[in-house]
Amino acid sequence: MSGSDGIIIIGAGPAGLIAAEHLAGAGHAVAIHERMPSPARKFLMAGRGGLNLTHSEDIGAFLGRYGPAEAALAPAIRAFPPEALRQWAEGLGEKTFVGSSGRVFPERFKASPLLRAWLRRLAALGVTLHTRHLWTGWDREGALTFTGPDGATLRKRPAATLLALGGASWPRLGADGGWAPLLRSRGVGVTPLAAANSGVEIGWSGVFRQKFAGEPLKRIAVTVEGERRRGEAVITEAGLEGGVIYALSRPIRLALERGGPARLEIDLRPDLAPAAVEEALAAARGGASLANHLRKTLKLPPAAIGLLREAAGKDLPSDAPYLAALVKAAPLAADAQRGLERAISTAGGLAWSELDENFMLYAMPGVFAAGEMLDWEAPTGGYLLQACFATGVAAAKGIAAWLG
């Protein structure tokens, strides 16, 4: 390619924007093409919940959150770790703090002030942003092709290209996975896209659904396929949502792929040993109902007691050992995960085997990739944004090195 169009970045999410900042700061001409009317829509959506930028835990534990993708992501995250992301945010005037959970947030708990300051910085660096530009692939001569706002086809011949197109979750915000067939048509391997950090569907009884939809389940533990996580969940009409469920997305998905359903074991009192639960339930209850006995002895709320009935098939066992076992491992069958349209993030994506250590595609020299479109997943808690930023920085360094 002639390179007359400088460096082109396709996608205006965190990975694309941070790459543009690094490249423009190094003196390169950079243009970003985004198919939506405005940039970073999913980033702004994340800000509605407080914008959890990253996490403060030890880097070893931090990297372990990426599971099978840890080895591939580790060099990029170590080169641009959580401390660097916090310094970057503070450089834009957004001080950060560590919450009680170890998660890192901007003091103003919003994404919009940070994004506005970021876009001003990019404009000052000379980065141009073209919105309503849909990338449609490459033509026969190897030029990038776009459909512009007026429907006309545009051709670009950049010196280097960065694909930062996101995954496929919340497609109405811009990332719909439409890039996958474009890469596959060029012989590039893409692992099928699937929902991550997604709720599960459970066949509640009509009575339970009507009575408890919207109720929280606090301080519980959930085990799936031998993996156990503690946290909170929310009962929905369709099943369960919440952090503890999202953290188990991968084993739930794998169980469902094997034919499912996925078996969830809910521990409603993870702070108590099984013997302590049994001892409490063995106490005389006099004329109290079994529900009141559970409420008084174990402080279980009505929603948790209702869940026990769902797991037991309506009638609760009155025998203390059996009831204690149910409290510690109430079995529920998840028939499906919620779809990509409601998932927080995406599993699958551009296969790591297609990329060199600089995030360039082996099959397409001069074409790089970063962000959620790569084949990795992580729980909520700051790990998602951290990897998007870190891979964006790594790809920018790779582009700079390739251009020499």
Q: What is the pLDDT of residues 321-375, one digit of tens each?
A: 999 999 999 999 999 999 888 899 999 999 999 999 999 999 999 999 999 999 9
Q: Are residues 221 and 185 in the same domain?
A: no
Domain identity same for 116 and 218: no
For residue 391, what are the domain limits? 7-195+341-403
Is there a single domain that holds both residue 49 and residue 179? yes
Q: pLDDT at residue 2 above 70? A: no
Residue 1 lies in a domain: no
Q: Does residue 389 belong to any structural domain of this protein?
A: yes
**CA–CA separation, 244 and 306 (whole Å):** 19
**In the listed set 337, 370, 387, which residue is the last one of a domain according to the structure?**
337
pTM listed for this prediction: 0.91
pLDDT grade, residue 4 (50/70/90)?
A: confident
Same domain membership, residue 140 and residue 98: yes
pLDDT value of position 5: 78
Return d(Cα 119, Cα 16) in angstroms, integer: 12
Whether 241 has a pLDDT exceeding 90, the answer reads yes
Contact 33, 133 (CB under 8 A): yes
* Domain boundary residue, one of 280, 315, 337: 337
Residue 101 lies in a domain: yes
Cβ contact 360:367 at 8 Å: yes
In terms of domains, do 108 and 227 share one? no
32 with 12: CB under 8 angstroms? yes
**pLDDT by residue (tens digit) across 7-53?**
999 999 999 999 999 999 999 999 999 999 999 999 999 878 789 99
Please determine, for residue 1, whether its predicted confidence score (pLDDT) is greater than 50.
no
Output the pLDDT for position 64: 96
Residues 212 and 169 in one domain: no
Mean pLDDT throughout 184-209?
96
Give the start-end residues of each E strand in 225-295: 227-235, 239-241, 262-267
8 Å CB contact between 342 and 170? yes
3-state secondary structure at position 227:
strand
Q: CATH code at 392?
A: 3.50.50.60
Summarize pLDDT for 277-315 with one digit per residue, the tens.
999 999 988 888 999 999 999 999 999 999 999 999 878
Q: 190 in a domain, yes or no? A: yes
| Last-in-domain residue among 288, 316, 337 | 337
In this structure, the answer to whether residues 35 and 125 fall within a common structural domain is yes
Same domain, 173 and 28: yes
Average pLDDT over every residue of 238-265: 95
Residues 26 and 173 in one domain: yes
**Is residue 246 a contact partner of residue 204, using CB atoms and an 8 Å limit?**
no
Q: What is the CA radius of gyration of the chain?
A: 24
Q: With beta carbons less than 8 A apart as the criterion, state whether 137 and 185 touch.
A: yes
pLDDT of 3: 61
User: According to the model, what pLDDT value does residue 369 have?
Assistant: 98
Residues 37 and 161 in one domain: yes
282's tokens: 């063995």
Res. 156 pLDDT band, cuts 50 70 90: very high
Q: Are residues 379 and 328 in the same domain?
A: no
pLDDT digits (tens, 9 = 90+) for 130-140: 999 999 999 99
Question: Count of domains in the chain?
Answer: 2
Identity of the amino acid at 280: A
Residue 349 covered by a domain: yes
Percentage of the chain beyond pLDDT 70 is 99
Helix (H) or strand (E) holding 122: helix 112-124
Same domain, 122 and 182: yes
Asked if the structure places residue 2 within a domain, the reply is no
